[in-house]
């Protein structure tokens, strides 16, 4: 992480940002931002020999934190979610507009 920069990460589904994660994460190696996989925890319903996240009574809400793994599908770089966070200046608001 870069000193003096603020990082954001969703602890819940992408909607926690009021939209998507697009533009908030970027591969620190190649700069790709559209093909990032994140290790996440989800609830699933066991049905016989299969599992189904859509049928879980808890609902489908993936969760992750800064220490979970992230992988760039473009170059294969693997690091933590924190490493994939795109830094923004401390003066930017949650909407990305400078305050």
Q: For the whole model, what pTM was predicted?
A: 0.61
Token pair of 64 as six digits = 């992750």
> Which pLDDT value is given to residue 1?
37
Nearest to 29 by CA among 68, 71, 64, 65: 71
Per-residue pLDDT in tens (0 to 9) along the chain, 99 residues: 333 333 444 444 443 333 456 678 999 999 999 899 999 888 888 999 998 888 877 766 788 888 999 999 999 999 999 999 887 655 555 555 544
> Which pLDDT value is given to residue 4?
36
> Which pLDDT value is given to residue 95?
53
Nearest to 94 by CA among 2, 10, 3, 1: 10
How large is the C-alpha radius of gyration of the chain? 15
Q: What is the dihedral of CA 86, 71, 22, 54, to 10 degrees?
A: -140
Q: Please report the beta strands in the chain, taking only residues with DSSP state E, as ranges in sequence order.
A: 5-6, 36-38, 45-47, 50-52, 69-72, 78-80, 88-89
Give residue 2's Cα distance to chain centre: 18
């Amino acid at each position: 992480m870069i000193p003096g920069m603020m990082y954001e990460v969703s602890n819940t589904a992408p909607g926690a940002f009021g939209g998507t994660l697009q533009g908030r994460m970027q591969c620190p190696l190649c700069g790709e931002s559209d093909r990032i996989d994140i290790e996440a925890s989800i609830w699933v319903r066991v049905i016989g020999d299969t599992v189904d996240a859509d049928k879980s009574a808890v609902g489908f809400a993936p969760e992750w934190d800064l220490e979970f793994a992230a992988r760039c599908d473009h170059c294969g770089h693997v690091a933590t979610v924190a490493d994939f966070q795109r830094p923004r200046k401390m003066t930017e608001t949650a909407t990305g507009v400078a305050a």
